[in-house]
Amino acid sequence: MKSKVQKWGNSLGVRIPNSMAKEIGLKEGMSVKFYIEDGAIVIRPAECDLETLLSQITPENLHEEIVVEGPVGREVW
């Protein structure tokens, strides 16, 4: 698949086709990491640590506690 490099401010940008973004679970607003490997630019979803994930919890996206009716496998309660 081909795309065109465009100028965005002082940087260059490339649009990622929706089908490719969906394939790797990439969504708008997600952090990514990119690096050069064997002469190619590689883009991957950024890995988050627990502190980063917890900092993104807001009253709007906080869900209620989930009640589980006992073990469903070999869990120890």
pTM of the model: 0.50
23 in a structural domain: yes
Alpha-carbon distance 47 to 17, whole Å? Answer: 22
76 in a structural domain: no
Q: Which helix (H) or strand (E) holds 21?
A: helix 18-24
Instruction: For 9-60, write each residue's pLDDT tens digit.
Output: 999 999 999 999 999 888 898 889 999 999 999 988 888 889 888 998 999 9
Would you state the pLDDT for residue 77? 67
More confident call, 28 vs 77? 28
What is the domain range of residue 41?
6-47
**Number of domains comprising the chain:** 1
Question: Is residue 70 over pLDDT 90?
Answer: no
- Residue 70 has a CB neighbour count (10 Å cut-off) of 6
Would you state the pLDDT for residue 49? 84
31 in a structural domain: yes
